[in-house]
């Protein structure tokens, strides 16, 4: 279910003057869809990185040309990157996650 479809279902319920009856499964799916949308992007449990805005998977690379304390996070689909971030790996992760809309930063 898309977010727009979920909004339609929930609006129907809110207005309570629906001409089309919805099933309990439709209500649950609509509610779950809206909750996911409101929650926003969540970090991958394995990498700790939020997906790219394009939907691609994010990956972190240590610098092989610069000091070992530089890291870059980028999308494997669209090539969006943070650029090189100096310091700990977590700094680059936090920069990426924040840029992708996650309010929690890197953990």
- The pLDDT value recorded for residue 66 is 57
- Is the pTM above the cut of 0.85? no
- The pLDDT value recorded for residue 4 is 81
Surface-to-core class of residue 94, CB atoms within 10 Å of its CB (0-12 exposed, 13-18 middle, 19+ buried): buried
23: tokens are 């099933």
- The pLDDT value recorded for residue 5 is 81
Which residues, given as ranges, of the chain have pLDDT below 50? Answer: 105-107
Spatial separation of the C-alpha atoms in residues 81 and 72, rounded to whole Å: 7
3-state secondary structure of 9: helix
Identify the DSSP state of 3.
Answer: H
């Amino acid at each position: 279910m898309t977010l727009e479809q979920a909004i339609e279902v929930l609006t129907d319920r809110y207005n309570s003057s629906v001409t089309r009856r919805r099933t309990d499964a439709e209500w649950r799916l609509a509610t779950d869809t809206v909750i996911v949308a409101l929650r926003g992007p969540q970090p991958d449990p394995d990498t700790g990185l939020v997906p790219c805005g394009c939907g691609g998977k994010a990956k972190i690379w240590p610098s092989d040309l610069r000091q070992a304390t530089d890291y870059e996070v980028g999308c494997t689909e669209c090539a969006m990157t943070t650029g090189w971030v100096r310091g700990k790996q977590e700094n680059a992760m936090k920069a990426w996650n924040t840029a992708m809309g996650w309010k929690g930063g890197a953990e």
